[in-house]
Structure 1
Amino acid sequence: MTPVACFWRTPAALLLRMMTSGDRMTGLGEAFAHYGRIFKTLHLLQFIDSEAYRRMIGVQLNIGEGRHALGRRIFFGRLGELRHGYRDGMEDQLGALGMALNAVVWWNTLYIDAAVKELENSGLTISPEIRSRLSPLVHEHINFHGRYPIVRSHGDGAILHPLRAPHAAEE
């Protein structure tokens, strides 16, 4: 076995121990730190130099912030606080939040896809640029204060509610 193959099978705790000696970095640890700084510097230089790269980073940050905003809206009942003093309770709360987030994203994805198909069937062309800006993280249309019965779908072809005009009166 080559030294490189052996390196990748080394446990992380052993690697950390090899890079530090007490509170000080070893030569290997300092080498890895300098190596990491090279990539950080290259990233910063590219960020300063390239407007396209800055926009790409901004888009990625906005997606993350959109997910966090949706999570805060779903988790409003306890003011976003984990109230359980034990690990399993906190994990249960976070698991339920993740499941609710996934349900909203799935539901929005189904309806965004249906809306795009309906627009295309009516003769409107949706450009790839517009498609790339659609996000299933929108949540302004969701009433977070209601009751939501869970209705089991029959069959694989789930039938969606008919789409309505954007400014149609609520029933």
Structure 2
Amino acid sequence: HASELVGSLLKSSRPSGLAQAIMEVGRVNKTLYLLNYIDDEEYRRRILTQLNRGEGRHAVARAICYGQRGEIRKRYREGQEDQLGALGLVTNAVVLWNTLYMQEALSHLRSAGEIPEDEHISRLSPLMYGHINMLGHYTFTLPENILKGELRPLNFNSNNELLP
């Protein structure tokens, strides 16, 4: 691997000429990246969007893993992997649930003649969780229509507006 090669070249107290050249190429690449980042506002926005998505996913995971303040407490690797796997599964279930119902809400709006703007749709995120009961009791007895693959009905307020 390239990282092992670079590591072996840098082991000595005085790097060889090849090691110094590799370090300089790395510095040039880093400088070019930073100059591009400074110069390109659209690129910075794309990076910020990705950072926000990552933070949103972490926020969902923290909300799900509330009992230990979001910390993985198992002392052994397999237990940590089990905890992380379960957390990932539940986080993905939340994202899937939200995605299905966002699609259903958009379909409802379109069928009612309201066409959401693409700009507004692009700001939607399946990483919300305030509407999900993270504590308490759960029932897994499902109505017949849900067992047949249908979705639960959308929530509306008294003005017939969609609720989250």
TM-score (norm 2): 0.82
Worse-matched range after superposition: 16-25 or 29-38:
16-25
Amino acid at match of 1:165: F
The yes-or-no answer on 1:114 pairing with 2:101 is no
Is 1:99 the counterpart of 2:80? The answer is: no
| Equivalent residues of 1:19, 1:27 under 8 A apart | no
- Is 1:133–2:123 an aligned residue pair? yes
Q: 1:39 to 1:127 in 2, by over 3 A?
A: farther
- In structure 2, the gaps of 5 or more residues are none
- Alignment-mate amino acid for residue 95 of structure 1: G
Kindly provide the amino acid, as one letter, of the partner of residue 5 in structure 2. Answer: L
Residue 84 (structure 1) shift: 1.1
The amino acid of 2:156's aligned partner reads: A
Q: 1:18·1:26 contact (CA, 8 Å) conserved in 2?
A: no
Cα offset for 1:166? 5.4
- Structure 2 residue corresponding to 1:162, chosen from 147, 153, 156: 153
The answer as to whether partners of 1:71 and 1:101 remain within 8 angstroms in 2 is yes
Percent identical:
46
Count of residue pairs brought into register by the alignment:
157
- 1:7 match: none
Using the TM superposition, give the Cα deviation of residue 53 of structure 1 relative to its aligned residue in structure 2, in angstroms: 1.9
Residue 32 (structure 1) aligns with? 22
Match of 1:8 in 2: none
Query: What is the CA deviation profile of residues 54-106 of structure 1, one whole-angstrom value per residue up to 9, with x for unaligned ones?
Result: 22211111111101111111111111122111111111111111111101001
Over the aligned positions, Cα root-mean-square deviation in angstroms equals 2.5
CA distance in 1, matches of 2:155, 2:96: 19
| Amino acid of the structure 2 residue aligned with 1:163 | L
**SS state at 1:76 partner:** coil
TM, length-normalised to structure 1: 0.79
| Aligned structure 1 segments of 4 or more residues deviating by more than 6 angstroms | none
Matched, 1:146 2:129: no
In structure 2, the partner of 1:45 is 35
Q: 1:150 to 1:51 in 2, by over 3 A?
A: same
Q: Determine the C-alpha separation between the residues in 1 that align with 2:91 and 2:29.
A: 34
C-alpha distance 128-24 of structure 1, shift in aligned 2 (>3 A): farther
Gaps of 5+ in 1: 1-10
1:71 — aligned with what?
61
CA drift at 1:151: 5.7
Cα gap change, 1:25 to 1:133, in 2 (>3 Å): farther
Deviation of 1:13 (Å): 6.8
Q: Distance in 2 between matches of 1:109 and 1:138?
A: 10
User: Residue type matched to 1:107 in 2?
Assistant: W
Amino acid corresponding to residue 86 of structure 2 in structure 1: A
